[in-house]
Amino acid sequence: MNPPAGEAGRGAQWSVPPEPGPEQDRRGSTPADRGSPVGRRVVLGLLGLGAVGVVAGSPLQDGLDAALAPIQRNDPTGLSDLLPGDYFRIYTVTDGYPYQSPVSYRLSVDGLVDRPTSLSLADLRSRPATSLVRAFQCVTGWRVPDVHWQGVLLSDLLDEAGVQPAARALRFLSFDGAYSESLTMAEARRPDVIVAYAMGGRPVSQAHGGPVRLYVAPMYGYKSIKWLSHIQVVDRVEPGYWETVGNYDVEAWVGRSNGRNDPTT
Amino acid sequence: MAATIRRRSAPAGRGWLDRFDGVERAVHWVNAALMLVLVFTGATLYLAPLGQAVGRRALVEDIHVYCGIALPVPLVIGLAGPWGGRLRADLRRFNRWTGSDRMWLRAAFRERSRRQALQAEIEVGKFNAGQKLNAAWTAGAGLVLLGTGLIMRWYHPWPLSWRTGATLVHDWMAVAVGIVVIGHIGMAVSDPDALRGIFTGRIRRSWAERHAAAWLDGRD
């Protein structure tokens, strides 16, 4: 460190200033007029607040949601929607959102079944509907509570197709051409796993995976494949997109997979 | 002191002063560039319509994560070597708050005419209290964003509730930092003399007389 040399170099010009270097700073200052380390306190305070926010986690989000809900409901500008809160991050593994018209949409169910089928949106809507009000929990942490889901029980569709004895698992394909997912037969038979065509009382939007997506309530969001177009009944579990690319757990129970064994939220 | 004599030889109100050296300006502009990329990629990840228009989410995410990790690097390099004397001195200035700084900040909350009258009487050092607060806020918020971002990206070791908390803190902090950055740019643009300082490193003496009298006198 050699500030004096620098000062001398600049001193050659008359107009250049005397910037007090660190040495000069120390000399001639008493502790009293050096002030107090408020900057450091602000930094440490922010770090403390951040740590509390992380550890308080879910309860804090619930509290904020409750506090913000009335503001967002009554805000005519819509600006408050930009504030963080309960919202979906729209994940895609391809460019943009793939589109299929609700009219021409078909869901094929084939593989180890007696009656391979191809169902239109109207076919799905004409079957007995199941409604669930459950959270959507992403493995990375964000969560949207109390989402209203409506669709057909996956189990019903399997019964209709007639699953053969050799079948052990399901493979799901998205019409985005890249994403895939899997479930064991036992998981697929659960009463909280549906082929969903409505969210929040409206048709599933394009961004959320419409016209039809899967909703696997007890598992992390990556199991709930969007833009669902194909269900193959197979003899063994084949890991899906993130389970291959990102090394995610195939069994994606919320709170009991992907590094943790916590109580379910 | 030689410095004092040299200063007196300059006619009052004229001439130029060195405010930021090359290291400080390099750190500032590398930081600014990283911050710009972070704001843009962050907004792309955060706002669905923007994300849809841009596409390639995995790439955008990687850019965001690695620019975030890189954010402290220019400052650390700038501070660490023999070249960082000026920067270290300025860091010390940012940290230390005198009674004048507190008065200046209190005055900042008064109505406009009163504020200007009060602040004109206070002899501020190289940085005023608002700049000091901005520096401390940016450092603290940046570290919080870095920590929570790391939890979000490498989430395996952390409880699910912490992941939720990290996402929440990261989102709110990012919005707050975005607002402060817009404010910072707005104030810089509204004071072309000060803005020139961070481009060229030099500032008009007349500017320093008005805005940094204690620094001009060598008291800060």
- What confidence tens digit (pLDDT) does each residue in B129-149 have? 999 999 999 999 999 999 999
Average pLDDT over residues A192-217: 96
Considering the domain architecture, whether residues A136 and A198 belong to the same structural domain is answered as yes
Measured between CA atoms, the residue of chain B closest to residue A58 is: B161
CB contact under 8 A, A43 and B165: no
Helices B22-46 + B72-80 axis angle, to 10: 170
| Side-chain-facing half-sphere of A22: CA atoms under 13 Å | 15
Average pLDDT over residues B49-58: 89
CB contact under 8 A, A22 and B88: yes
Q: Is residue A192 part of a domain?
A: yes
Considering the domain architecture, whether residues A49 and A171 belong to the same structural domain is answered as no
- For residues B62 and B66, give the distance between their C-alpha atoms in angstroms, rounded to a whole number: 6
CB contact under 8 A, B175 and A82: yes
- For residues B41 and B63, give the distance between their C-alpha atoms in angstroms, rounded to a whole number: 7
How many domains is chain B built from? 1
Interchain CB contact of B136 with A (< 8 Å): yes
What ipTM was predicted for this assembly? 0.89
> Which residue did the predictor score with more confidence, A3 or A250?
A250
Interchain CB contact of B189 with A (< 8 Å): no
How many domains is chain A built from? 2
Range among A122-131, A250-259, B115-124 rated most confident: A122-131
Interchain CB contact of B155 with A (< 8 Å): yes
Residue of A3, A252, A228 whose CA lies nearest to A100: A228
- For residues A154 and A219, give the distance between their C-alpha atoms in angstroms, rounded to a whole number: 15
For the ranges A15-19, A97-101, B154-158, B194-198, which has the lowest average pLDDT? A15-19
Considering the domain architecture, whether residues A48 and A149 belong to the same structural domain is answered as no
Q: Is residue B102 part of a domain?
A: no
Statement: residue A83 has pLDDT above 70: yes
Burial of B42 (0-12, 13-18, 19+ CB in 10 A): buried
Statement: residue A28 has pLDDT above 50: no
pLDDT for the residue B13: 62
Considering the domain architecture, whether residues A190 and A62 belong to the same structural domain is answered as no
Could you report the per-residue pLDDT of B21-31, keeping only the tens digit for each?
A: 999 999 999 99
pLDDT for the residue A16: 42
Considering the domain architecture, whether residues A60 and A111 belong to the same structural domain is answered as no
pLDDT for the residue A33: 60
Considering the domain architecture, whether residues A177 and A110 belong to the same structural domain is answered as yes
CB contact under 8 A, A55 and B2: no
**A243 Cα distance to chain centroid:** 15
Q: Is residue B193 part of a domain?
A: no
Considering the domain architecture, whether residues A164 and A65 belong to the same structural domain is answered as no
Interchain CB contact of B12 with A (< 8 Å): no
CB contact under 8 A, B158 and A93: no
Considering the domain architecture, whether residues A113 and A235 belong to the same structural domain is answered as yes
Angstrom CA distances, A260 to A54, A248, A249, B162, B179, stand at: 16, 12, 11, 11, 35
Q: Are B20 and B196 in contact (CB under 8 A)?
A: no
Statement: residue B46 has pLDDT above 60: yes
- For residues B136 and A46, give the distance between their C-alpha atoms in angstroms, rounded to a whole number: 9
Statement: residue A11 has pLDDT above 70: no
Statement: residue A41 has pLDDT above 70: yes
Statement: residue A75 has pLDDT above 90: no
For the ranges A148-162, A213-227, B58-72, B158-172, which has the lowest average pLDDT? B158-172
Q: Are A214 and A193 in contact (CB under 8 A)?
A: yes
CB contact under 8 A, A47 and B148: no
Q: pTM, whole model, 2 decimals? A: 0.83
* Chain A partners within 8 Å of B165 (Cβ): 53-58, 60-61, 141
Statement: residue B2 has pLDDT above 60: no
Label residue A37 by pLDDT band (50, 70, 90): very high
Could you report the per-residue pLDDT of A42-55, keeping only the tens digit for each?
A: 999 999 999 999 99
Tokens of A236: 């063994």
* Residue among A14, A46, A82 whose CB faces B9 most closely: A14
> Which residue did the predictor score with more confidence, B188 or A34?
B188
CB contact under 8 A, B51 and A11: no
Supply the DSSP string of B29-63, one letter for each residue: HHHHHHHHHHHHHHHHHH-HHHHHHH--HHHHHHH
pLDDT for the residue B4: 38
Which helix (H) or strand (E) is A99 found in, with range?
none
- For residues A65 and A198, give the distance between their C-alpha atoms in angstroms, rounded to a whole number: 23
Range of the domain at A42: 38-74
* Residue among A3, A15, A142 whose CB faces B85 most closely: A3
Considering the domain architecture, whether residues A228 and A115 belong to the same structural domain is answered as yes
CATH number of the structural domain spanning residue A139? 3.90.420.10
Q: Is residue B209 part of a domain?
A: no
Q: Is residue B88 part of a domain?
A: yes
CB contact under 8 A, B17 and A11: no
Statement: residue A139 has pLDDT above 60: yes
Statement: residue A20 has pLDDT above 60: no
Name the one residue in this structure whose structure tokens are 């879910």: A58
Considering the domain architecture, whether residues A126 and A222 belong to the same structural domain is answered as yes
Q: Is residue B24 part of a domain?
A: yes
Average pLDDT over residues A218-231: 96
Neighbours of B112 (CB within 10 A): 7
Range of the domain at B55: 17-95
Range among A64-78, A130-144, A220-234, B96-110 rated most confident: A220-234
* Residue among B56, B94, B168 whose CB faces A95 most closely: B56
Last residue of a domain, which of A74, A98, A129?
Answer: A74
Could you report the per-residue pLDDT of A144-157, keeping only the tens digit for each?
A: 988 999 999 999 99
Considering the domain architecture, whether residues A57 and A168 belong to the same structural domain is answered as no
Q: Please count the residue pairs, one from chain A and one from chain B, whose beta carbons lie less than 8 angstroms apart.
A: 210
Candidates B4, B61, B124, B169, partner chain A, best to mutate (most A CBs within 10 A): B169
CB contact under 8 A, B85 and A258: no
Considering the domain architecture, whether residues A44 and A159 belong to the same structural domain is answered as no
Q: Are B19 and B202 in contact (CB under 8 A)?
A: yes
CB contact under 8 A, A46 and B175: no
Statement: residue B102 has pLDDT above 50: yes
Label residue A73 by pLDDT band (50, 70, 90): confident
Q: Are A229 and A104 in contact (CB under 8 A)?
A: no
Q: Is residue A175 part of a domain?
A: yes
Q: Is residue A204 part of a domain?
A: yes
Interchain CB contact of B77 with A (< 8 Å): no
* Chain B partners within 8 Å of A208 (Cβ): none
Q: Is residue B89 part of a domain?
A: yes
Q: Is residue B114 part of a domain?
A: no
> Which residue did the predictor score with more confidence, A112 or A7?
A112
Kindly report the average pLDDT of chain A as a whole number: 85
From the CA of A231, how many Å to the nearest CA of chain B? 26
Q: Is residue A97 part of a domain?
A: no
Q: Is residue A112 part of a domain?
A: yes
pLDDT for the residue A136: 94
> Which residue did the predictor score with more confidence, A263 or B180?
B180
